[in-house]
Structure 1
Amino acid sequence: MQIRRCRFEVDEGFVMTGDERSSPSVLSGKEYAVWLADIKARLRQAQLKAAVSVNTALLEFYWQLGSEIVEKQQSAKWGSSFLARLSRDLMKEFPEMKGFSETNLRFIRRWYQFYGDDVSNSVTACDRIEPGVLSAAAGDQKVAQAVPLLTQIPWGHNRVIISKCSSVDEALFYVRKTIENNWSRNILTHQIESGLYGRDGKAISNFSLTLPAPQSDLAQQIIKDPYTFDFLSLSPEYTERELEKGLIKHITQFLLELGSGFAYVGKQRVLTVGERDFFLDLLFYHTRLHCYVVIELKTGDFEPEYAGKLNFYLKAVDMQLKTEQDDPTVGILLCKNHDALVVEYALSDIRKPIGVSEYELVHSLPDDLKDSFPTVEQIEEELRRLEE
């Protein structure tokens, strides 16, 4: 038997044998690289679809299992002790699966019970519900209609939501936000603990008067009140410039707090009007609104003149930066406090779209509670004692 030796050479990012090198039918390095990149992209999409499909099928099974556990406990009066036996039997039969611990079985039952028969009241047409995904065994048809929404997020996310939310409306709000923004479990937890449900879309604005209906609704949804900047550590007498620098230093956390769609453009952007220069605190572009967003920072209470100045900035951006493809520029005024009626009066005759929100920095404990919590040194000492 003759062994043919091949010489390998590197050409423009990939490896070819000597025979391939001399063959006129072989793709060039650039063509191969493009084709390979396309294959990789399609494979990743296939993997993602497979993972989503597996997640959906598993959660549909969990939902049906939760329904059956509840039914068995009610009709057969088995109580909750049988979950330990069910856990042992399932783990014995399916040792490679990790979802059948007694704790997780309790979460499956709790997940099913949490949403209940009224879950459909919180489901809207925008949730893209696909009827017929589950069989009648899944329980009440109204409940079954919501399951395709719940099964679009991982099980760990579902556990976090039912552990931290007090109502179905709040829970489904975070389910939708997770789907929309592709949140990790840590980010989801942060958003729940920061009270996003109570802050989202709550800012006072004039959007309904200054923007067409579809854009005004979306603009209102992207603004919170208050914003939580708990990632900042500023002195009690911080200035607007210090606040601005802190937000830019922690731009990742800042963008997370702003929400999806915000792209950072720059700070202290210079706009020349006439013979004067004006400086925008922060400039963003919103990819869903398709417009520039000017954010102005104030360390004190809202004053009516702030709205007039921001209105001027928006006009300048529309004249100098906005293109024909962009929608009208939106302004967000962040201040430490505001009087709602004063804000409504100030915005009533403003022609540019402006929203006004408060912001919160790190919350400190009241002095009378500080002594109730252990110090870092005390915690470290306790940990050392336990390790001994």
Structure 2
Amino acid sequence: MELKKELIEQILSIVTISREKAIRSVDTQRVLMYWEIGKIIFEEEQKGKERASYGEFLIKSLAESLEPQLGSSFSYRQLNLFRQFYRIFPIVNALRSQFNWTHYRTLIRIDNNDKRAFYIAEVEKNNWTARQLERQVNSQLFERLLLSNDVKSVLAVAREEKNPVEAKEIIKDPMVLEFLGLQRENSYYEKDLENAIITHIQDFILELGNGFAFVARQKRIHLDGDDFFIDMVFYNRLLQCFVIIEIKTSKLTHQDIGQLQMYVNYYDRFEKQSFENPSIGILLCTDKNDAVVKISLPENNSNIIASKYQLYLPTEEQLINEVKKEIEKLDNKIF
């Protein structure tokens, strides 16, 4: 007698869900255990606060006693991390059940309160895995958003206290595409880059930002006997508009901007519905001349964005230099 396929699938589903709950339960208990240990260490340290070296002595002594019995999870470095964990997150009821210890370990190492608050809000909203959080921190997501926004605005969007109204509030410049696996010293064609993006579409959407959904690639449009092909089309539910992406593996030209403007106009006139907002165009390029971009577009433009991409994670120094450039641009406008 043959068993019903549906019955087997139901049982497998129950087993999978139960295992996932068991893993989450273990993670939750581990987080609480580390928090409680951190609390004990912190409170004991405060008792000896008149001695500046007492904290270091305390943790070293504990590590010497605990590590031989409990293993490397209770080394000096780990115990110090537990203490930091409690110091940064002192209210146990405020701990998020969806965060595992690896989430918190990444958050603890962020020394800026606004920056940490941003990533906490993004993890909660987007249900990022610990690996996704680590990647976003390493790619300097917060700093890249600050290149075109202020801290208050970035935090408000992350916490869903306001909906983004402009593309610059969620679209980064530069975009970091290290997950594509393309080497920057190798030559490649636009089609190679597009194929790599499609292969890693989930990672690319994560890099694009909140609310993006993939619609089409090489979208054909027909204009009075001529055919044109748009590299990629997305939709953003937060901005409620289509997002057209054109890929360039060279420095941006004014012809590229004109072509993208035509595609955006097409979507606004033939695809956009009355309740939707004007379409956005993104030119993904290796380099750009901001003056050319500015002169090629109307003064009130907010829908065509040129964003550089890089195939490697940026360093903090690189981001600081980018911020300085933006500040200089603002100063030049003022004076």
| Residue 66 of structure 1: how far off its partner (Å) | 5.1
| Residue 101 of structure 1: how far off its partner (Å) | 4.8
Match of 1:176 in 2: 121
Greater shift in the superposed pair: 303-312 or 275-284: 303-312
For 2:143, the aligned partner's letter is: G
Match of 1:281 in 2: 231
Which structure would you say has the larger RCO, counting Cα contacts within 8 Å and 6 or more residues apart?
2
Aligned mates of 1:186, 1:266 — CA distance in 2: 28
Which of 206, 209, 212 is matched with 1:262 structurally? Answer: 212
**Do the aligned residues in 2 keep the contact of 1:203 with 1:355 (CA within 8 Å)?**
no
Aligned mates of 1:311, 1:298 — CA distance in 2: 15
**Do the aligned residues in 2 keep the contact of 1:60 with 1:151 (CA within 8 Å)?**
no
Residues 11/303 of structure 1: CA separation in 2 closer, same or farther (3 Å cut)? closer
Match of 1:216 in 2: 165
| Residue 194 of structure 1: how far off its partner (Å) | 2.2
For 2:6, the aligned partner's letter is: G
Match of 1:61 in 2: 36
For residues 159-308 of structure 1, the aligned pairs below 5 Å read 159-163=105-109, 165-200=110-145, 202=147, 214-217=163-166, 219-230=167-178, 231-233=181-183, 236-308=186-258
SS at match of 2:305: strand
Residues 222/152 of structure 1: CA separation in 2 closer, same or farther (3 Å cut)? same
Greater shift in the superposed pair: 331-340 or 46-55: 46-55
Aligned mates of 1:331, 1:55 — CA distance in 2: 46
Aligned mates of 1:154, 1:224 — CA distance in 2: 28
- CA deviation profile, 1:188-225 (whole Å, cap 9, x unmatched): 22222222222136359xxxxxxxx94425x3232111
For 1:196, the aligned partner's letter is: L
Aligned mates of 1:258, 1:159 — CA distance in 2: 25
Please tell me whether Structure 1 or Structure 2 has the larger radius of gyration of its CA atoms. Answer: 1
Aligned mates of 1:268, 1:320 — CA distance in 2: 17
Aligned mates of 1:318, 1:37 — CA distance in 2: 47
Greater shift in the superposed pair: 247-256 or 148-157: 148-157
Aligned mates of 1:268, 1:353 — CA distance in 2: 21
Aligned mates of 1:251, 1:216 — CA distance in 2: 25
For 1:314, the aligned partner's letter is: V
Greater shift in the superposed pair: 320-329 or 173-182: 320-329
**Do the aligned residues in 2 keep the contact of 1:229 with 1:254 (CA within 8 Å)?**
yes
**Do the aligned residues in 2 keep the contact of 1:285 with 1:292 (CA within 8 Å)?**
yes
Aligned mates of 1:264, 1:309 — CA distance in 2: 21
SS at match of 1:216: coil
Aligned mates of 2:73, 2:93 — CA distance in 1: 19
Pairs aligned (count): 298
| Residue 336 of structure 1: how far off its partner (Å) | 1.6
**Do the aligned residues in 2 keep the contact of 1:201 with 1:222 (CA within 8 Å)?**
no
**Do the aligned residues in 2 keep the contact of 1:226 with 1:358 (CA within 8 Å)?**
yes
Aligned mates of 2:114, 2:135 — CA distance in 1: 18
| Residue 333 of structure 1: how far off its partner (Å) | 1.4
> Is 1:155 paired with 2:101?
yes
- CA deviation profile, 1:106-150 (whole Å, cap 9, x unmatched): 11223455x5xxxxxxxxxxxxxxxxxx9xxx5xxxxx5x98267
Aligned mates of 2:72, 2:225 — CA distance in 1: 69
| Residue 179 of structure 1: how far off its partner (Å) | 2.5
- CA deviation profile, 1:234-285 (whole Å, cap 9, x unmatched): 6654333332233223334333332343322222100123332221111122
What TM-score does the superposition give when structure 2 sets the normalisation length?
A: 0.68
What TM-score does the superposition give when structure 1 sets the normalisation length?
A: 0.60
**Percent same amino acid among aligned pairs?**
29
Aligned mates of 2:209, 2:123 — CA distance in 1: 12
| Residue 313 of structure 1: how far off its partner (Å) | 0.9
Residues 316/271 of structure 1: CA separation in 2 closer, same or farther (3 Å cut)? same
Which of 72, 78, 99 is matched with 2:47 structurally? Answer: 72
Residues 149/311 of structure 1: CA separation in 2 closer, same or farther (3 Å cut)? farther
**Do the aligned residues in 1 keep the contact of 2:45 with 2:58 (CA within 8 Å)?**
no
After superposition, the CA RMSD in angstroms is 4.2
For 1:334, the aligned partner's letter is: L
Residues 239/10 of structure 1: CA separation in 2 closer, same or farther (3 Å cut)? closer
For 2:135, the aligned partner's letter is: H
Aligned mates of 1:286, 1:66 — CA distance in 2: 47
Residues 224/106 of structure 1: CA separation in 2 closer, same or farther (3 Å cut)? same
Match of 1:14 in 2: 7
Aligned mates of 2:226, 2:277 — CA distance in 1: 26
Aligned mates of 1:160, 1:318 — CA distance in 2: 42
**Do the aligned residues in 2 keep the contact of 1:331 with 1:353 (CA within 8 Å)?**
yes
Greater shift in the superposed pair: 151-160 or 39-48: 39-48
* Structure 1 segments unaligned to the other structure (5+ residues): 1-7, 16-32, 116-133, 139-143, 205-212, 364-388
Match of 1:119 in 2: none
